[in-house]
């Protein structure tokens, strides 16, 4: 085995880089220039802050969850990204990138979507800014997230079904990359997660980092000090890197990312890329991927369309390699149970994605994965309306914990 090739551009340790076809180089260089020259300016920051308040709905509150905490045996506080416009943390990123695209003179936005949250957010910002929006979505995801498809169309976006592969998120990204290769002079690819070729992992992280920055400030003010643990679900990893980023330098704070364990880690049907993957090149970055011995990418599985992805943002691979963050998995079944518990104990119906993070907290004390007395900050990154159809079709019984 040869030494791992260290990426030359945008590396996070041995991960990251720009492993994209040469035809995309002009677009990626243009974007990197814009990221360096436009994003730091006062005018851009002011515009971003103004829109974040007025249109996205920032800041979001921290919510104590006493009844959920009692179930978990761990004091848990939620960062309420489910309350953002569109119902998920995705709005933070689409606002930043769409503003940047406008500065770059691009009139057309393309995006991939899995659960439909990023596609919906893109459709909404495109409507607000009067830009054209084309959303690539796997056919399977269009079936299981039908309400979001209709929401995107309502906002004037064109949703293009992707029929290749497993017809999920990975295939949608492939198709968006193909579109962008041909359309880059007029089009910005509004990538929805902190993955992809440099500069996307940094660009997306920096727009999502507001989650952790805000939460840290709020925690200090409301509870004093710092949380002991920060927990978030990880698909591509934008919500997790968004809440982790401000806490990475705080060595006392444990960072835990929860991946989709699907039907179980040993079933082969899961999306636990960091827990069970190996280093590879996918969608422009060297990162952890689910692949066979010869490098063919495997089809992942998760009940959550938003986590159903065989790669992960390269910065998470780096945080895992250095030991700064720990990554675990929660199964479909655990996530569904947590979805029911949160709905019944706090009156918050979460999306299936953060239900994985909730599932980890519910089991962590008993399993010994977290110590007794740990105070947990959890990114509740999306609300569950989009998942209700899927949930009801399962015919499960809700939790009844009151007379």
Nearer to other proteins, 198 or 254 (CB): 198
Nearer to other proteins, 5 or 373 (CB): 5
Nearer to other proteins, 111 or 348 (CB): 111
End-to-end CA distance of the chain: 62
Nearer to other proteins, 124 or 317 (CB): 317
CA quadruple 83, 320, 235, 313: dihedral sign: positive
Going from the C-alpha of 229 to that of each of 247, 321, 373, 390, the distances in angstroms are 10, 19, 11, 31
> What region, left, alpha or beta, does residue 17 occupy, with left being phi > 0 and alpha being psi -120 to 50 degrees?
left
Quick check: 180 and 27 in contact, CB under 8 A?
yes
Residue among 137, 170, 140, 164 at smallest CA distance from 151: 137
CB of 173 to other proteins, least distance (A): 8
Rounded to whole angstroms, the Cα distance separating 131 from 101 reads 10
CB of 135 to other proteins, least distance (A): 18
- 130's tokens: 């009067």
CB of 324 to other proteins, least distance (A): 24
Residue among 16, 94, 282, 258 at smallest CA distance from 174: 282
CB of 111 to other proteins, least distance (A): 16
CB of 311 to other proteins, least distance (A): 10
CB of 200 to other proteins, least distance (A): 14
CB of 79 to other proteins, least distance (A): 34
Listed in sequence order, the residues at least 6 apart from 309 whose beta carbon sits closer than 8 Å to its beta carbon are: 114, 168, 169, 170, 193, 235, 236, 271, 273, 300
Residue among 101, 126, 137, 67 at smallest CA distance from 305: 137
CB of 170 to other proteins, least distance (A): 7
Nearer to other proteins, 22 or 266 (CB): 22
CB of 47 to other proteins, least distance (A): 29
CB of 140 to other proteins, least distance (A): 16
Nearer to other proteins, 69 or 113 (CB): 113
Instruction: Please tell me whether residue 286 adopts helix, strand or coil conformation.
Output: strand
Tokens 């045996």, residue?
73
- Omega cis (within 30) before 199: yes
CB of 80 to other proteins, least distance (A): 36
- 161's tokens: 């079904």
Nearer to other proteins, 266 or 292 (CB): 292
**Residues forming the site for other proteins (CB under 8 A):** 1-2, 5, 7-9, 17-23, 25-26, 164-165, 170, 174, 177-178, 181-182, 184, 279-284, 286, 289, 291, 293-297
Nearest-5° angle of CA 299, CA 303, CA 305? 70
CA 182 to chain CA centroid, Å, is 27
Nearer to other proteins, 61 or 279 (CB): 279
Nearer to other proteins, 191 or 211 (CB): 191
Quick check: 272 and 259 in contact, CB under 8 A?
yes
Nearer to other proteins, 164 or 388 (CB): 164
Nearer to other proteins, 170 or 270 (CB): 170
Rounded to whole angstroms, the Cα distance separating 239 from 115 reads 14
What is 350-366 written as a DSSP string? B-HHHHHHHHHHHHHHH
């Amino acid at each position: 085995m040869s030494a791992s090739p260290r990426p030359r551009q945008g590396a996070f340790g041995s991960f990251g880089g720009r492993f994209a076809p040469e035809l995309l180089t002009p677009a990626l260089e243009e974007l990197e220039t814009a990221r360096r020259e436009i994003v730091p300016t006062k005018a851009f920051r002011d515009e971003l802050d103004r829109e974040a308040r007025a249109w996205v709905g920032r800041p979001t509150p921290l919510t104590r969850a006493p009844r959920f905490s009692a179930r978990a045996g761990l004091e848990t506080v939620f960062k309420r990204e489910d309350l953002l416009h569109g119902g998920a943390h995705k709005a933070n990123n689409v606002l930043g990138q769409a503003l940047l695209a406008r500065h770059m003179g691009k009139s057309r936005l393309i995006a991939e979507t899995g659960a439909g949250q990023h596609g919906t957010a893109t459709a909404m910002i495109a409507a607000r800014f009067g830009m054209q929006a084309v959303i690539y979505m796997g056919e399977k995801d269009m079936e299981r997230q039908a309400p979001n498809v209709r929401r995107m169309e309502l906002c004037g976006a064109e949703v293009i079904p992707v029929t290749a592969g497993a017809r999920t998120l990975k295939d949608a990204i492939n198709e968006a990359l193909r579109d962008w290769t041909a359309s880059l002079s007029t089009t910005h690819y509004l990538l929805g997660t902190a993955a992809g070729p440099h500069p996307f992992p940094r660009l997306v992280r920096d727009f999502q980092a507001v989650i952790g920055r805000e939460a840290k400030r709020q925690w200090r003010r409301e509870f004093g000090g710092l949380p002991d643990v920060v927990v978030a679900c990880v698909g591509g990893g934008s919500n997790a890197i968004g809440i982790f980023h401000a806490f990475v330098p705080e060595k006392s704070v444990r960072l835990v990312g929860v991946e989709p364990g699907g039907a179980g880690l040993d079933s082969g049907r899961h999306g636990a890329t960091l827990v069970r993957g190996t280093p590879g090149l996918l969608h422009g970055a060297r990162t952890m991927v689910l692949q066979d011995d010869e490098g063919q990418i495997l089809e992942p599985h998760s009940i959550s369309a938003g986590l159903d992805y065989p790669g992960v943002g390269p910065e998470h691979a780096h945080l895992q390699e250095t030991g700064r963050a720990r990554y675990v998995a929660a199964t479909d079944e655990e996530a569904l149970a947590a979805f029911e518990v949160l709905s019944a104990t706090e009156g918050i119906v979460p999306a299936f994605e953060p239900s994985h993070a909730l599932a980890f907290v519910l089991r962590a004390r008993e399993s010994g994965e977290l110590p007794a007395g740990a105070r947990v900050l959890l990114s509740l990154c999306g609300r569950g309306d989009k998942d209700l159809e899927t949930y009801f079709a399962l015919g499960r019984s809700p939790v009844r914990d009151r007379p």
